[in-house]
């Protein structure tokens, strides 16, 4: 007898769920409705659950540099983020698709993120390589470019034409191309293609850019709907809109509110599943800017702050309502021997570590600190042994992942302000911690402390 087989359900936005679990009771900003902006939550994806707030380790080219995926899981990583720009250039998104998607390609069985490639197109395209320049003394105007560099990226209404930083080949990203690439990469969460500006761009250019990013967002929603319908063999991929607007409150609120209400022009039922917060902002204003954005965004959808990992920034952003974060800094700094500790950075290569026959951080529970001494790490870096990068990266990633886990617990048990003051006081000093608390108290509409 022939038994009919069940037809797999088509991918649907209902496969991606976010729920708010607890709200920050004290120590954080509140929105215009009087509700606290900081919260904990649960993101359910086709490949697993993410408890928020959460730090997402970055695996730019489908690898967290120097670490096995199993090691990332062991140190507490709940998800990884890879980069569409880099994977498009090498090995190609079509190859990753053929392999079964990003997770299968890199042997990671948890949730995955991909960013749109917009940041890399802009930052590498204007010659700043790893970061967007934030020094107003060096540049000005709309066409920002690093000194003695050729501009490799050019923006127009339809998209961006750029040269590969690998070999100089010319490529073109449009909202539709970014969506196709990210669908082929197959991440659980992906981001709309946006224009990432710098603090050096003029107010007029920022206004034009916010409007252009919203027009691109509509095209992303339409293409996302087409790709989802055409790729029924893959699980649903959530699409996050990206809020720009630099340090202007009106632009940030306009951008956030606009994206929150946006639908596709053709796919009028398609909205964003969550939101990214990106672009140019000064460190001192981070909490305030995030609170402007989260105050405008729907409570029932998650918010990801792009490119953040410093302890003070994490406290400020979580108090202002951000849910997840990613940054290359923990692994990049580790490869140079710079390692986190409760009392500030430690240089594993410094002379003071040479005969320290104890853990580099005796309060840390990572594999490195439980099994190796600071003296051994010092030796590895001085001898230029690859193992040094691996052990240091394990420590740094675990330090930040664990810190955000502790912050999540503190929101649940009502000790957020106490934990912030303790951690920042030891990390940066008492005066710094007081100043950070004061900035949090003035972020957003008002504060609860």
What is the average per-residue pLDDT within 279-301? Answer: 93
pLDDT at 357 over 70: yes
Question: What separation in angstroms does the CA of 187 have from each of 112, 237, 240?
Answer: 5, 6, 12
pLDDT-based confidence at residue 448 (cuts at 50, 70, 90): very low
Record the tokens describing residue 354, joined without a space: 């040479």
Question: What separation in angstroms does the CA of 261 have from each of 62, 201, 275?
Answer: 33, 27, 12
Torsion of CA 59, 62, 67, 68, to 10 degrees: 140
Record the tokens describing residue 160, joined without a space: 């961006």
pLDDT digits (tens, 9 = 90+) for 52-93: 999 999 999 999 999 999 999 999 999 999 999 999 999 999
pLDDT-based confidence at residue 123 (cuts at 50, 70, 90): low
Give yes or no: 361 in active site. Answer: no
Record the tokens describing residue 250, joined without a space: 């009106």
Give yes or no: 208 in active site. Answer: no
pLDDT-based confidence at residue 188 (cuts at 50, 70, 90): very high
pLDDT at 440 over 80: no
Report the distance separating Cα 106 and Cα 112, nearest Å: 11
pLDDT at 126 over 60: no
252, 293 in Cβ contact below 8 A? yes
The whole-chain average pLDDT of the chain stands at: 89
Record the tokens describing residue 220, joined without a space: 């992303």
Q: Could you tell me the pTM of the whole model?
A: 0.91
| pLDDT given at position 205 | 85
Question: What separation in angstroms does the CA of 104 have from each of 47, 95, 418?
Answer: 11, 12, 41
Report the distance separating Cα 219 and Cα 172, nearest Å: 16
Catalytic residue, candidates 115, 188, 295, 313: 115
H helix intervals, 165-237 = 175-185, 203-230
Catalytic residue, candidates 188, 312, 326, 361: 326
248, 279 in Cβ contact below 8 A? no
């Amino acid at each position: 007898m022939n038994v009919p087989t069940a037809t797999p359900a088509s991918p649907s936005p209902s496969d991606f769920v976010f729920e708010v679990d607890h709200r920050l009771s004290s120590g954080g900003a509140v929105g215009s409705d009087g509700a606290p902006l900081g919260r904990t939550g649960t993101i359910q994806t086709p490949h697993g659950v993410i408890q928020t707030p959460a730090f997402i380790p970055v695996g730019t080219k489908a690898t967290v540099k120097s670490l096995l995926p199993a090691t990332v899981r062991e140190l507490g990583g709940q998800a990884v983020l890879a980069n569409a720009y880099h994977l498009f250039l090498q090995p190609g998104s079509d190859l990753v698709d053929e392999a079964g998607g990003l997770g299968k390609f890199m042997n990671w069985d948890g949730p995955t993120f991909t960013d749109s490639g917009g940041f890399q197109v802009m930052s590498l395209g204007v010659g700043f390589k790893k970061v967007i320049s934030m020094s107003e003394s060096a540049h000005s105007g709309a066409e920002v470019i690093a000194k003695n560099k050729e501009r490799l990226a050019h923006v127009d209404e339809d998209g961006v034409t750029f040269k590969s930083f690998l070999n100089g080949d010319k490529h073109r990203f449009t909202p539709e191309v970014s969506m196709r690439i990210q669908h082929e990469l197959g991440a659980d969460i992906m981001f709309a293609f946006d224009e990432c500006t710098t603090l050096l761009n003029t107010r007029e250019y920022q206004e034009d850019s916010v409007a252009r990013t919203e027009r691109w967002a509509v095209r992303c929603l339409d293409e996302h709907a087409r790709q989802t319908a055409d790729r029924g063999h893959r699980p649903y991929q959530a699409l996050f809109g990206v809020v720009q607007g630099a340090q202007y409150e009106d632009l940030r609120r306009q951008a956030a509110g606009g994206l929150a209400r946006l639908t596709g022009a053709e796919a009028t039922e398609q909205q964003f599943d969550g939101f990214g917060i990106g672009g140019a902002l000064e460190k001192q204003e981070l909490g305030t800017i995030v609170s402007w954005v989260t105050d405008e965004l729907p409570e029932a959808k998650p918010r990801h702050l792009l490119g953040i990992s410093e302890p003070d920034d994490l406290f400020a952003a979580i108090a202002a309502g951000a849910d997840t974060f990613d940054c290359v800094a923990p692994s990049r700094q580790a490869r140079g021997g710079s390692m986190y500790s409760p009392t500030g950075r430690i240089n594993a290569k410094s002379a003071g570590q040479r005969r320290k026959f104890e853990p580099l951080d005796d309060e840390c529970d990572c594999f490195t600190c439980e099994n190796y001494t600071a003296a051994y790490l010092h030796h590895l870096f001085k001898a230029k042994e690859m193992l040094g990068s691996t052990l240091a990266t394990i420590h740094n990633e675990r330090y930040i992942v664990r810190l955000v886990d502790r912050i999540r617990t503190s929101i649940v048990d009502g000790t957020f302000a106490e934990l912030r003051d303790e951690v920042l006081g030891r990390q940066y000093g008492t005066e710094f911690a007081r100043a950070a608390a004061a900035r949090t108290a003035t972020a957003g509409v008002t504060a609860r402390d």
